[in-house]
Amino acid sequence: MIRYSLECPDEHVFEHWFDSIADADAQLAAHAITCPECGATTVRKSLMAPNIGASKPSAPALPSCASASCCAGSCPALAG
């Protein structure tokens, strides 16, 4: 089972359980899922990320390569 957050054209977000990713895609493509609030059948997967506030997740920072001598000359940022 897999749970998706779905969103209708009126921005109602709700959750729905599917058997699999393929099942979710098939049901969404077939408009088999109905928004519980307005009845819309053109719902799509929501990009809602639970438990994430206003702060962005920080990507791993690459070392600054201002110097040509960084990484002993093998810095990937300077390879191109």
Site residues, Zn ion (CB under 5 A): 8, 10, 12, 35, 37-38, 40
Q: Kindly tell me which of 26 and 38 has the beta carbon lying closer to Zn ion.
A: 38
Q: In angstroms, what is the minimal distance from the CB of 4 to Zn ion?
A: 15
- Using the structure block, give the residue that is written with the tokens 């990507």: 59
Q: In angstroms, what is the minimal distance from the CB of 6 to Zn ion?
A: 9
Residue 27 vs residues 11, 22, 46: alpha-carbon distances, Å = 19, 9, 15
Q: How far apart are CA 43 and CA 77, in angstroms?
A: 42
Q: Kindly tell me which of 22 and 39 has the beta carbon lying closer to Zn ion.
A: 39
